Amino acid sequence: MIVESRSRDAIAVQSTCKLNLFLEVVRKRADDYHDIETLFQEIDLKDRIIIRRADAGVEFTCNIINLARPGENLVERAAARFFTHTGIRGGVAIALEKRIPAGAGVGGGSANATATLQALDLLFETKLPLREISQIACSLGSDCPFFVLGGAAVGHGRGELLEPVSLPRRAFLLVIPPLVLSTAAVYARVSPDLATRDSVRALPLSKFESMNVNDVESAIFNRLETAAIEAEPRLNEIRRTFERAGIPRFHLTGSGSGSFAVFETLTKAVEAAESFRSVRGSLVNNAQAAGLLKDTKVFAVESLGRAS
């Protein structure tokens, strides 16, 4: 979370999102969740959240209408949990300005929820320990605690058990089509394979710590990628567009639908984004591709380190 402005009665913050540079599904648990090993990397694509004190309740608005349904957005739920946990009397009006597409595997909603908890902690001066904020965040989503930590971290369990790591600064091309994948449906396609798999791929952390992008490329892995494509075959059109744009190596993040490619510098990521957009523009006469690609979001982004 990044604080933009703060006064006694209001606070404005930015919430980020993440990529999964590595994601292995270790086992299915008795509670129907899955144990994973993952490498989270925070990136500088951001939403904006403005919170103002109010007399009572939680009033929530969003620039994306279908994300503003009462009681369904994680921001609204995070605020309710904060007031229940702290016992504070009062209320807030929260406005969420979304730029990060929903359902893309980049944790935008989880980051919104976590930033809301952190912003409320500052606004009401409750001074909750980070561990306590992480516990509340975890009740909202498995990857929410990562956004309390930020930077880069290895995640275990459901992703909530975190070990911070230091990785070199890198740039990414991030492509997010207008496809919302069900995380549960994607994991369901992986589960039957877990019983027959002889070994679990280990996280090659030293390769991610390398300055060499080729080392990083060889280490990136996502066990959910095949399952996501089976669940949503239209992802293959995005893959073909990467290839047509001269970007042969690209990877799904989380359970999708977002995909990314890694670069040494932001300049190179911007060039790749321009190539992708150019290819997208050339496909306007391809009805099947154009319908999907027209609303596909393309971003050149950089990794973020952990806030001091």
Residues that are catalytic: 18, 143
| Cis previous bond, 257, omega within 30 | yes
Compute the distance between CA of residue 124 and CA of residue 54 in angstroms, rounded to an integer: 12
Residue 137 in contact with residue 146, Cβ under 8 Å? no
Q: Is 267 exposed, middle or buried (0-12, 13-18, 19+ CB in 10 A)?
A: exposed
Instruction: Please give the backbone phi and psi of residue 209, each rounded to the nearest 5 degrees, phi first.
Output: -80, -10
Say what angle helices 130-138 and 74-86 make with each other, to 10 degrees: 130
> Closest Cα to residue 219, out of 272, 290, 165?
165
